[in-house]
Chain A
Amino acid sequence: MLIGHRPKEFLLAVEALTVSFDGFKAVNDLSLYVEENEIRVIIGPNGAGKTTVLDLICGKTKATSGSIQFRGKELTKLKENQIVQAGVGRKFQTPSIYEDLTVFENLEISFPRGRTVFGSLTFQRDAAVKDRVEEVAEMIFLKDRLNVYADQLSHGQKQWLEIGMLLIQNPDLLMLDEPVAGMSVSERAKTAELLNRIIKDRSVLVIEHDMKFVEDIAHKVTVLHQGQILSEGTMEHVKNDPKVVEVYLGH
């Protein structure tokens, strides 16, 4: 034991994480550490296990073995809603919003208060809620669309709305699965700007295929291949790694 040589406190420490579906190891002995206020991008070819890693962290999939420590809490033992309450927010790949509700109501449901049955029966839409919803709506470029039903929004606006629903939760770790997929060029630029603005005071874990976008936002990049880490480091480092070029970027 080395005294005074304690490892640095990570926000998220994934260690020896494995999940197998009928013998197929979608994630195999994976270890990943995310620091406070870091933007980490996960890239990799299709089927590399990127989305599965996010599913494991947020509790959607249960790990076969390994541990996920978040601020010292073991997430593999918690239920999905407890993981959210611990401070982890997750955006899904396809926009996952409530189309029969208005933009305001979508954001309000994610407001972190009154999350129990009784709490939601007695929930009051007071000034704090309204102010926060308007504040977030302005950030996600939807301020003048608060009363619009969400099914009227464009694809890009739906993606922003879901990001907004996560922002209002104010998570310490924000996980985004392909946030710019299917967006137009101008929407992409706006999303990058949005992400750069919202990463203050929180860590972000992003899965993305768009290399230009990855270069714009990543502090550090992790390349996954067949459920394992192929390479990790700065974008510059990863880009020049021959293994990465071979399995992913070369194509």
Chain B
Amino acid sequence: MIINSRFFNRSELIGFVALALLLFVILPLTLDVFRLNLVAKYLTYAFVAIGLVLCWGYGGILSLGQGVFFGLGGYCMAMYLKLEASSVANTKIQSTPGIPDFMDWNQITQLPFFWKPFHSFPFTLLAIILVPAFFSFIIGAAMFKRRVGGVYFAIITQAIAAILTILIVGQQGYTGGINGITDLRTLHGWDIRTDHAKFILYFVEVVLLFGCIVAAQFIRLTKLGRILVAMREKEDRVRFSGYSVANFKIFAFCAAAIFAAIGGAMFTLEIGFMSPSFVGIVPSIEMVIYTAVGGRMSIFGAVWGSLLVNFAKTSLSESFPQLWLFGLGALFIAVVLAFPDGLSGIWRDYVQPHIDRLIASRKSKARWADGSVADGAPAE
């Protein structure tokens, strides 16, 4: 009686179906593989944006370092693919065959210990989830238990993003440095560079994305989702209602990190490389902008925001490369000032009422036609 007990309410169901139609049917049918691969790249950021909806939109925890987790997921996948591409047969011209090429260039003669487990695909899949979960847990526990929040937390996450970038660039022999891990070829013997593989990977990604949407929606609808909102508004009230606020913040931060890492791993598969330019401060802030543009309280909005901002980025930076960053900044300011709920807010306030009215008038017309006017039918 109190709350709609269904998983999606009507407008969310419309959003779900519309997005599913677009991603599963319309885009694959209308776009060539090159463009579809671009969409796949945009969608990898949607994973991050969905995590930010939970963590920032609902929990009020602004992380400006989601690139860290995107990168960790991406690098885990890249390490596996790189090891597979660096078989002894493929690298026999190196002074040490069987190790990744950039290690050989940096006079490293033995595979470092932390690379060895990435020979195993199951281990890699686990690591994609567990490595970011572990790091976000440590960061979250260190910050939230000490009641570090708000702007301070945002700045610290920025610092972590900067540190990780510097670390990756500096440790060139172990990480591939500024170039990242490149020349990835096969996944379990399956060539990921072909058009056919890109097509398949696109669908794998969209299925995973919908998995994340459903998981985020599930979290949102549990009491935990409501506690996140409560915490954002009156942290002390939640604390003095018997909850350990820090644990809930850690959960939201870890969930966002895991979503980001899945996106990062898919990025590596789709694009065929991973580099520190997707880890640092700028990409991390861009990810927050995608979420803000889509609407930070809306899971579907996050996906639309990632798609549209990236689409604008590609088309604008092709024609006005210097202007793009100013455009992005202006977009963020405009959204924050004029539309704090982003695209989903515009939809809710301006489009949804029209649809509702249309449906209502259809229904009442149908009732009139039936000749059985229900009580309380709208007069207009």
Where the two chains meet, the residues of A that have a C-beta atom closer than 8 Å to any C-beta of B are 58, 60, 79-81, 84-85, 89-90, 92, 96-102, 104-106, 108-110, 112, 114-117, 120-123, 125, 130, 146-147, 162, 165, 169
Contact = CB atoms under 8 A, between A and B. Distances in A.
Nearest to B2: A104
A80 B230 contact: no
A81 B243 contact: yes
B222 A109 contact: no
Top 7 A-B pairs, shortest CB-CB distance:
A84-B242, A123-B223, A120-B224, A98-B230, A120-B223, A96-B237, A110-B241
B240 A84 contact: yes
Contacts of A84: 240-242
A184 B230 CA distance: 28
Contacts of B234: 96-98
B238 to A, nearest CB: 7
Given A115-B242, A116-B247, A117-B248, A98 B224 contact: no
B233 A117 contact: no
Contacts of A98: 229-230, 233-234, 237
A97 B237 CA distance: 7
A100 B238 CA distance: 14
B233 A58 contact: no
Nearest to B244: A81
Given A114-B223, A117-B247, A121-B219, A165 B241 contact: yes
A106 B240 CA distance: 13
B224 A117 contact: yes
A101 B242 CA distance: 18
Contacts of A100: 229, 232-233
Given A114-B223, A116-B247, A123-B222, A92 B237 contact: yes
B219 A101 contact: no
Given A92-B240, A98-B230, A98-B237, 18 more contacts: A80-B239, A81-B245, A84-B241, A97-B234, A98-B233, A99-B233, A100-B232, A102-B2, A104-B2, A109-B238, A116-B244, A117-B247, A121-B219, A121-B222, A123-B222, A123-B223, A147-B2, A165-B237
Q: Which of B234, B239, B241, B243 has the most CB of A within 10 A?
A: B241
B222 A120 contact: yes
Contacts of A102: 2-3
A169 B237 contact: no
Nearest to B236: A96
Nearest to B218: A121
Interface residues of B, number: 26
Given A84-B240, A169-B241, A101 B2 contact: no
Contacts of B247: 116-117
B241 to A, nearest CB: 5
B363 interface: no
Contacts of B354: none
Contacts of B230: 98, 101, 106, 109
Contacts of B233: 98-100
A228 B243 CA distance: 32
Nearest to B242: A84
Contact of A101 (B229, B236, B240, B248): B229
A117 B251 contact: yes
Contacts of A96: 234, 236-237
A81 B251 contact: no
A62 to B, nearest CB: 13
B223 A108 contact: yes
Contacts of B35: none
A126 B240 CA distance: 24
Q: Which of B219, B236, B245 has the most CB of A within 10 A?
A: B236
A79 B244 contact: yes
28 contacts: A60-B236, A60-B240, A80-B240, A81-B242, A81-B243, A84-B241, A84-B242, A92-B236, A98-B229, A100-B229, A100-B232, A100-B233, A101-B226, A102-B3, A106-B230, A110-B242, A112-B242, A115-B243, A116-B244, A117-B247, A120-B222, A120-B223, A120-B248, A123-B222, A130-B2, A162-B237, A165-B237, A169-B242
